[in-house]
């Protein structure tokens, strides 16, 4: 059967209004990649990467955006607006373009990775930089959508969460059950909320088990770990540079209800996890490596016994979103004359 996107495949399980008019770029259906070397090195039963970088705009945001834009156009909206650390902006721009709607995106000045900004511009959004953080931008778009017909497509929008539940459905459909643990990065906390809702829904209708959730924030932007909003969040993982998560309470509840937890990881730990994943063939953007960074740290600290555990790690965005980080943190390629002698000498052959 031809794949037609997540509203076609899982729409009957999503709480979307009657007026929803399907806009899709065939998002979802991403691979759950087994990681044999990582599994062996960490001593687990099986570790899988849910590789969300393979969505149409290169991140998991497309799952929620197909739902949010489909609802917005169905009710007659003409413009969608969002605040974004980058991936939501690119996704909103693409789906709005697809639907023939105008997209406006507010981003924190200078803090959005090149691949995301380029995407948002390429898809035709009106991109506005603000002299402030993501949190400031979110406050502004929430405010403006209260009094204007602009449609808000941040994950405060409940249809974003409905669409993103499909990630949990896919993992369960692939494994035939939920994993024992589910690890993922946490920024504005929409995705952790959506996964937990999706798992709970599947547990009810399919009788599967529930996973424990390990949410991971960046140490410089970890409001859910320190227990209060962070005024000036900082991290190399710019996607999750968020100091006041809109769904923070729900994230904490998801972790607690599941028997899991939310922890923080340093930028060094996140970049190391990015290198480990890439070395086994899965290149993700820094924020996307936070799930593995957290899992690895918990195992090494003796707080997590991986023995016999099936673990799914969501890698939320593609490595190509943030090429700058590789240029900054890895050696530049060697330069030699275009001569065979120089090549032989360098390779030692």
Both tokens assigned to 319: 């490595």
By CB under 6 A, residue 190 contacts ligand AN7:
yes
Of the candidates 92, 95, 113, 116, which has an alpha carbon nearest to the alpha carbon of residue 104? 92
Determine the interface stretch with ligand AN7 among 10-18, 189-197, 303-311, 332-340 (rule: CB under 6 A). Answer: 189-197
Q: How far is the CB of 314 from ligand AN7 (least distance, A)?
A: 8
Q: Please work out the total of residues on this chain that contact ligand AN7, with binding judged by CB under 6 A.
A: 22
By CB under 6 A, residue 265 contacts ligand AN7:
no
Measure Cα distances from 48 to 63, 115, 315 in Å. 20, 25, 10
Of 20, 30, 39, 59, the one binding ligand AN7 (CB under 6 A) is 59
Determine the interface stretch with ligand AN7 among 2-10, 81-89, 93-101, 218-226 (rule: CB under 6 A). Answer: 81-89
Both tokens assigned to 303: 């707080």
Q: How far is the CB of 330 from ligand AN7 (least distance, A)?
A: 19
- Cβ atoms within 10 Å of 300's Cβ, excluding its own: 10
Strand 32-34 with 151-152, pairing: unpaired
The distance between the two most distant Cα atoms of the chain, rounded to a whole number of Å, is: 70
For ligand AN7, which is the closer residue by CB, 245 or 306? 245
For ligand AN7, which is the closer residue by CB, 117 or 186? 186
Of 84, 145, 157, 250, the one binding ligand AN7 (CB under 6 A) is 84
Q: Which residues of 228-251 are buried (b: 16+ CB within 10 A; e: fewer)?
A: eebeebebbbbbbbbbbbbbbebb
The binding track of 103-142 with respect to ligand AN7, each residue x by CB under 6 A or -, is ----------------------------------------
Q: How far is the CB of 348 from ligand AN7 (least distance, A)?
A: 39
By CB under 6 A, residue 239 contacts ligand AN7:
yes
Contact partners, residue 71, CB within 8 Å, separation at least 6: 16, 17, 19, 20, 159
By CB under 6 A, residue 5 contacts ligand AN7:
no
Q: What is the DSSP string of 261-273?
A: EEEEE-HHHHHHH
Contact partners, residue 14, CB within 8 Å, separation at least 6: 7, 67, 162, 163, 165, 166
Give the footprint of ligand AN7 on this chain (CB under 6 A). Answer: 59, 84-88, 155, 185-192, 239-240, 285, 287-288, 316-317
């Amino acid at each position: 059967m031809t794949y037609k996107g997540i509203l076609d495949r899982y729409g009957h399980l999503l709480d979307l209004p009657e007026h929803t008019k399907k806009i899709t770029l065939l998002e979802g259906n991403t691979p759950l990649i087994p990681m044999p070397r990582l599994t062996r090195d960490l001593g687990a039963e099986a570790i899988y990467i849910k590789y969300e970088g393979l969505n149409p705009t290169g991140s998991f945001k497309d799952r929620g955006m197909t739902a949010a834009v489909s609802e917005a156009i169905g009710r007659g909206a003409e413009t969608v607006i969002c605040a974004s650390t980058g991936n939501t902006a690119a996704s909103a721009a693409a789906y709005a373009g697809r639907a023939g709607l105008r997209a406006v995106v507010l981003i924190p000045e200078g803090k959005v990775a090149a691949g995301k900004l380029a995407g948002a511009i390429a898809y035709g959004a009106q991109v506005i930089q603000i002299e402030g953080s993501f949190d400031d931008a979110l406050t502004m778009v929430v405010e403006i959508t209260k009094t204007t017909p602009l449609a808000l497509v941040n994950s405060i929008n409940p249809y974003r969460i409905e669409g993103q539940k499909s990630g949990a459905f896919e993992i369960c459909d692939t494994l035939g059950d939920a994993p024992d643990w589910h690890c993922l990065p946490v920024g504005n906390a929409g995705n952790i909320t959506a996964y937990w809702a999706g798992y709970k829904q599947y547990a009810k209708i399919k009788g599967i088990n529930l996973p424990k959730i390990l949410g991971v924030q960046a140490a410089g932007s970890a409001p859910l770990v320190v227990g209060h909003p962070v005024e000036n969040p900082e991290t190399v993982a710019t996607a999750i540079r968020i100091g006041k998560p809109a769904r923070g309470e729900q994230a904490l509840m998801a972790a607690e209800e599941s028997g899991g937890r939310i922890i923080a990881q340093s930028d060094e730990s996140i970049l190391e996890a990015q290198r480990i994943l890439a070395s086994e063939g899965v290149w993700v953007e820094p924020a996307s490596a936070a799930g593995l960074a957290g899992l690895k740290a918990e195992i090494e600290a003796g707080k997590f016994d991986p023995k016999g555990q099936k673990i799914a790690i969501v890698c939320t965005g593609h490595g190509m979103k943030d090429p700058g980080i590789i240029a900054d943190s890895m050696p530049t390629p060697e330069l030699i004359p275009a001569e065979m002698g120089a090549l032989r000498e360098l390779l030692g052959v």
